[in-house]
Amino acid sequence: MGDSFAPRRSLLTPAPPKPTGGRRAAVEALLDGDRTALDRPGKRRRTSHRRRGQRTERRGNPSGRHPLRLTSVRVLRRLLLKRESAGRLVTVSEIWIGFDADDTLWHNEHYFIQSYALFAELVAPYLEAEHDDAEQAAHDLLVATERRNIPSFGYGIKGATISMIEAAITASHGEIRPEQILRLVDRAKEMMEHPVEFLDGALDTIDALSQHKLVLLTKGDLKDQHRKIEMSNIAERFDAVEIMHEKDGPTYRKAFDRFSIDPVRFVMIGNSVKSDIIPVLELGSAAVHVPYRTTWAIEVAEEPTAHPKFRQASSMHAVPPIVDELLG
């Protein structure tokens, strides 16, 4: 079904009282109005890999792999979860805001476009005799292969690479050379190491909506998604994280049930109409579409412009006021 954990939400239950110092004292000082408490370094608890894995499992990650490690300052920022407004403390709202990750918070599709260009370069020569536009024929063959293979291999780099290899063998009638196949494999390894590049305004938008409960809802290769979440340090900004095997109505419903999310009090933000927008609208939620500069052919869908809870934003910077308007 996927992989889930609740980095910020799991920390809301107070730990047993400690005599003095450490994280608890800093939090208490912070809530008493001492804003400098955020800048005080706290002790980092040493934890064995085994215990860390066990703790991750209690947070909802059955595999115990790739646990997210938060520093003391980050934990303090998420434990605070309160904002000063007109001289009073305002607690986090019961509204949930969902964020997609790939091509919503950080760049992803353009790495695949580079891989598809390599695939077309390798495969087009085998299709020139049968097609006027060999590169387009290679692209169409790859999309059809990916669409057929998603139920078996899922989304992400490894699934796409398997589909490229299968399509290359099919297009060449088995004549493609081993060194050409290895170029596709090497390209996949490069993609698994590419840096996380945030889209402009992504972090500002997350922080602008942090008075609400936040959940990261992404799909793709489990290892690659964990890698990007860890490299980006994004988990510290969220109450929950869910890596989904698919983004459809039933899968969203399971995530809502897991985190006790009321669909009517939920707004989803994402770049894919097919995966991020339509399924949540069908569950009674609201959705904000933030188009990316390119869209994978399999994710193309018509915008539900007539739906009363649908909005489109020109960029991430435009999202917060749109969310405020949807929430009334």
- Residue 258 pLDDT more than 50? yes
**Of 273, 305, 306, 302, nearest in space to 289 by CA:** 273
Residues of the chain with CATH 1.10.150.240: 109-191
* All CATH 3.40.50.1000 domain ranges in the chain, comma separated: 92-107+198-328
Question: 187: number of CA atoms within 13 Å, CB side?
Answer: 22
Write down the pTM of the prediction.
Answer: 0.73
Query: DSSP alpha helices (H): ranges in 209-318?
Result: 222-232, 249-258, 278-282
Per-residue pLDDT of 265-310, as tens digits, reads 999 999 999 999 999 999 999 999 999 988 888 888 999 999 999 9
* pLDDT for the residue numbered 298: 84
Q: Using the Cα atoms of residue 101, residue 106, residue 110 and residue 115 in order, give the sign of their dihedral.
A: negative
Q: Helices 72-80 and 22-31: crossing angle, nearest 10°?
A: 40
CATH class of 92-107+198-328: alpha beta
Average pLDDT over residues 12-21: 40
Beta-carbon contacts of 129 under 8 Å, excluding residues fewer than 6 positions away, are: none
- Residues 140, 153, 300, 189, CA torsion sign: negative
The whole-number average pLDDT for the span 233-259 is 95
Phi, psi of 213 (to 5 degrees): -75, 135
Higher pLDDT, 162 or 130: 162
Superfamily classification of domain 109-191: Putative phosphatase; domain 2 (1.10.150.240)
